[in-house]
Amino acid sequence: MPALDDPQTRAALGALRVGALRWLGGGVVAVVLGCLLAVAAVRIARDSGERVPGAGLVVIALVLGGLAAAVAGLGSLLRTRRWTAALAGTSWQLGRLRVAGAAVLQVEPLGFDDLAGEPLRLRLMSTAIWRTRAVQRLADGDVSYAPVSAREWVLTADGAGTVFGARVPGRRG
β-pair partners for 106:
98, 121
The dihedral over CA atoms of 16, 20, 21, 22, expressed in degrees to the nearest 10, equals 100
Per-residue pLDDT of 31-41, as tens digits, reads 999 999 999 99
The beta strands (E) that lie in the chain are given as 93-99, 104-109, 120-124, 142-147, 152-156, 164-167
For 66-75, how does the pLDDT look when each residue is reduced to its tens digit (9 = 90+)?
999 999 999 9
Phi, psi of 169 (to 5 degrees): -65, 150
Nearest Cα neighbor of 69 from 129, 23, 127, 21 is 23
pLDDT digits (tens, 9 = 90+) for 110-139: 877 766 678 889 999 887 888 888 898 999
pTM: 0.83
The pLDDT value recorded for residue 130 is: 86
According to the model, what pLDDT value does residue 38 have? 96
Check residues 137 and 64 and name the one with the higher pLDDT. Answer: 64
Q: What is the predicted pLDDT for the residue at 89?
A: 94
